[in-house]
Chain A
Amino acid sequence: MNTLAGGLFAMFEPLVASGLALPLAGVNWHTFFFLVFAAVACGFAVAVVAADNVVRMALYLVLSLGATAGLFFLAGAEFVGAMQLMIYVGGTLVLLVFGVMLTAQAPFVSIKSTAGDRVLAGMVGAALLAVLLQAALSVPAWRKPGAGRVAEPAATPIGMALVGVRVDAPEAGAPAINRRPGYLLPFEIVSVHLLVVLVGAAYLARAKRRKTPRAIEVAASVEPAASVAEHAEIGRDRSRGSSVLAGGRS
Chain B
Amino acid sequence: MDLASQLPSLLGLAWLLPLASFVLILFFGPRMGSHGRNAAWVATAAIVTSLVLSLVAFVAWLGAHPVSAVDHGGHGDHGAAHATEHASGHAGEHGGKGHGDAGGHHAAAGPVAYAGDWYTLYEGGRLKLSIGWYIDSITILMFVVVTFIATCIHVYASGYMHDELHDVTDHDVTLADGHHLHRPGRFSRFFQALSLFCFSMLGIVIAGNLAMVFVFWELVGICSWFLIGFYYERKSASTAANKAFIVNRVGDFGMLIGLMALWGAVGTLHFADVTTTAADGGAVRTPGLFSLFRPAAADHALRIPDGMVKFEAADAVARVAADHAASPADAASEIASRTPDWRSMGYGNWLLFIAGVGIFCGCVGKSAQFPLFVWLPDAMEGPTPVSALVHSATMVAAGVYLVGRFYPVLSPDVLLVIAYVGAITLFIAATIALVANDIKRVLAYSTVSQLGYMMLALGVGGWVAGLFHLVTHAFFKSLLFLCSGSVIHACHTNDMRKMGGLAKVMPATAFTMLVGCLAIIGAGIPFVIGLSGYYSKDSILAQALSFSQANPRHAILFYAVAGGAFLTAFYMFRLWFMTFAGKPRDHHVAEHAHESPQVMVMPLLVLAVLAVVAGWTLPGGLGIANLIEQSRPAGTAATATGGFAFGSLTIPAEHLSHGEPFHSIATLTAFGTALGGVLLAAAMYLWGVISPSVVATLFGPVYGFLAHRWYFDELYHAIFVLPVKGLAAVASGIDQGLIDPLINGLAWSARQVAGLDAWIDRTLVDGLVNATANATWSAGLELKKLQTGSLRQYVVFIAAGTVAVFVLTSILFKTSLPV
A and B touch in the complex (CB under 8 A): yes
**A residues touching B (Cβ–Cβ < 8 Å)?**
113, 117, 120-121, 124-125, 127-128, 131, 135, 138-141
Chain A residues in 8 Å Cβ range of B796: 120-121, 124
Cβ of B754 within 8 Å of any chain A Cβ, yes or no, is: no
Chain B residues in 8 Å Cβ range of A135: 806
What 20 additional pairs, Cβ within 8 angstroms, besides A121-B796, A138-B817? A113-B792, A117-B792, A121-B792, A124-B796, A124-B800, A124-B803, A125-B799, A127-B800, A127-B803, A128-B799, A128-B803, A131-B802, A131-B803, A131-B806, A131-B807, A135-B806, A139-B817, A139-B819, A140-B819, A141-B819
Chain B residues in 8 Å Cβ range of A121: 792, 796
**What is the size category of the interface that chain B forms with chain A?**
10 to 19
B695 to chain A, nearest CB (A): 130
- CA A128 to CA B803, docked complex, whole Å: 6
Question: B771-819: which have CB < 8 Å to A?
Answer: 792, 796, 799-800, 802-803, 806-807, 817, 819
A145 to chain B, nearest CB (A): 15
Chain B's closest residue to A139 (CB) is B817
- Choice from A117, A124, A138, A139 contacting B799 with Cβ under 8 Å: A124
- CA A125 to CA B806, docked complex, whole Å: 14
Chain B residues in 8 Å Cβ range of A125: 799
- CA A138 to CA B800, docked complex, whole Å: 21
Do residues B819 and A128 form an inter-chain contact, with CB atoms below 8 A? no
B607 to chain A, nearest CB (A): 123
- CA A113 to CA B800, docked complex, whole Å: 19
**What 8 A-B pairs have minimum CB-CB distances, sorted nearest first?**
A141-B819, A131-B806, A127-B803, A124-B799, A124-B800, A128-B799, A128-B803, A131-B803
- CA A127 to CA B802, docked complex, whole Å: 10
- CA A124 to CA B817, docked complex, whole Å: 26
Chain A's closest residue to B818 (CB) is A141
Do residues A128 and B817 form an inter-chain contact, with CB atoms below 8 A? no
- Would you mind naming 19 contact pairs between A and B with Cβ atoms under 8 Å apart? A113-B792, A117-B792, A120-B796, A121-B796, A124-B796, A124-B800, A125-B799, A127-B800, A127-B803, A128-B799, A128-B803, A131-B802, A131-B803, A131-B806, A131-B807, A135-B806, A138-B817, A141-B817, A141-B819
Chain A's closest residue to B795 (CB) is A121
- CA A121 to CA B800, docked complex, whole Å: 9
A10 to chain B, nearest CB (A): 39
Q: Is the interface of A mostly helix, strand, loop or mixed?
A: helix
Chain A residues in 8 Å Cβ range of B807: 131
CB-based A-B contact count at 8 angstroms? 26
Chain A residues in 8 Å Cβ range of B817: 138-139, 141
A141 to chain B, nearest CB (A): 4
Chain B residues in 8 Å Cβ range of A113: 792
Chain A's closest residue to B805 (CB) is A131
- CA A32 to CA B799, docked complex, whole Å: 33
A147 to chain B, nearest CB (A): 16
Chain B residues in 8 Å Cβ range of A124: 796, 799-800, 803
- CA A128 to CA B796, docked complex, whole Å: 11
B342 to chain A, nearest CB (A): 126
- CA A127 to CA B800, docked complex, whole Å: 8
- CA A139 to CA B796, docked complex, whole Å: 28
Chain A residues in 8 Å Cβ range of B819: 139-141
- CA A198 to CA B792, docked complex, whole Å: 28
A116 to chain B, nearest CB (A): 11
- CA A42 to CA B368, docked complex, whole Å: 138
- CA A140 to CA B799, docked complex, whole Å: 26
B83 to chain A, nearest CB (A): 141
B802 to chain A, nearest CB (A): 7
A173 to chain B, nearest CB (A): 13
B817 to chain A, nearest CB (A): 5
B683 to chain A, nearest CB (A): 138
Chain A's closest residue to B802 (CB) is A128
B572 to chain A, nearest CB (A): 129
- CA A93 to CA B335, docked complex, whole Å: 141
- CA A30 to CA B802, docked complex, whole Å: 34
Chain B residues in 8 Å Cβ range of A139: 817, 819
Chain A residues in 8 Å Cβ range of B802: 128, 131
B815 to chain A, nearest CB (A): 11
Chain B residues in 8 Å Cβ range of A141: 817, 819
- CA A124 to CA B792, docked complex, whole Å: 12
Chain B's closest residue to A130 (CB) is B803
Chain B's closest residue to A135 (CB) is B806
Chain A residues in 8 Å Cβ range of B799: 124-125, 128
- CA A23 to CA B368, docked complex, whole Å: 161
- CA A141 to CA B819, docked complex, whole Å: 6
Chain B residues in 8 Å Cβ range of A140: 819
Chain B's closest residue to A120 (CB) is B796
- CA A139 to CA B802, docked complex, whole Å: 20
- CA A247 to CA B799, docked complex, whole Å: 34
A11 to chain B, nearest CB (A): 39
A94 to chain B, nearest CB (A): 24
Chain B's closest residue to A132 (CB) is B806
- CA A135 to CA B802, docked complex, whole Å: 13
Name, among B796, B799, B803, B819, the residue most crowded by chain A CB atoms within 10 Å (CB to CB): B803
A138 to chain B, nearest CB (A): 8
Chain B's closest residue to A117 (CB) is B792
Chain B residues in 8 Å Cβ range of A120: 796
Chain B residues in 8 Å Cβ range of A131: 802-803, 806-807
Chain A residues in 8 Å Cβ range of B803: 124, 127-128, 131
Chain B's closest residue to A131 (CB) is B806
A123 to chain B, nearest CB (A): 9
A243 to chain B, nearest CB (A): 16
B819 to chain A, nearest CB (A): 4
Chain B's closest residue to A113 (CB) is B792
Render B650-668 as a binary contact track against A, CB cut-off 8 A, 1 for contact.
0000000000000000000
B455 to chain A, nearest CB (A): 125
Chain A's closest residue to B790 (CB) is A117
A238 to chain B, nearest CB (A): 12
B797 to chain A, nearest CB (A): 9
Name, among A113, A124, A135, A138, the residue most crowded by chain B CB atoms within 10 Å (CB to CB): A124
- CA A120 to CA B792, docked complex, whole Å: 11
B384 to chain A, nearest CB (A): 112
B816 to chain A, nearest CB (A): 8
Chain B residues in 8 Å Cβ range of A138: 817
- CA A124 to CA B797, docked complex, whole Å: 9
Render B262-275 as a binary contact track against A, CB cut-off 8 A, 1 for contact.
00000000000000
A28 to chain B, nearest CB (A): 24
- CA A125 to CA B798, docked complex, whole Å: 11
- CA A193 to CA B41, docked complex, whole Å: 119
B100 to chain A, nearest CB (A): 135
A101 to chain B, nearest CB (A): 22
- CA A78 to CA B792, docked complex, whole Å: 35
- CA A125 to CA B803, docked complex, whole Å: 9
Chain A's closest residue to B798 (CB) is A124
B296 to chain A, nearest CB (A): 135
B719 to chain A, nearest CB (A): 108
- CA A124 to CA B803, docked complex, whole Å: 8
B792 to chain A, nearest CB (A): 7
B654 to chain A, nearest CB (A): 138
Chain B residues in 8 Å Cβ range of A117: 792
A178 to chain B, nearest CB (A): 25
B762 to chain A, nearest CB (A): 47
B444 to chain A, nearest CB (A): 117
- CA A139 to CA B807, docked complex, whole Å: 17
B212 to chain A, nearest CB (A): 112
- CA A120 to CA B819, docked complex, whole Å: 37
- CA A60 to CA B398, docked complex, whole Å: 140
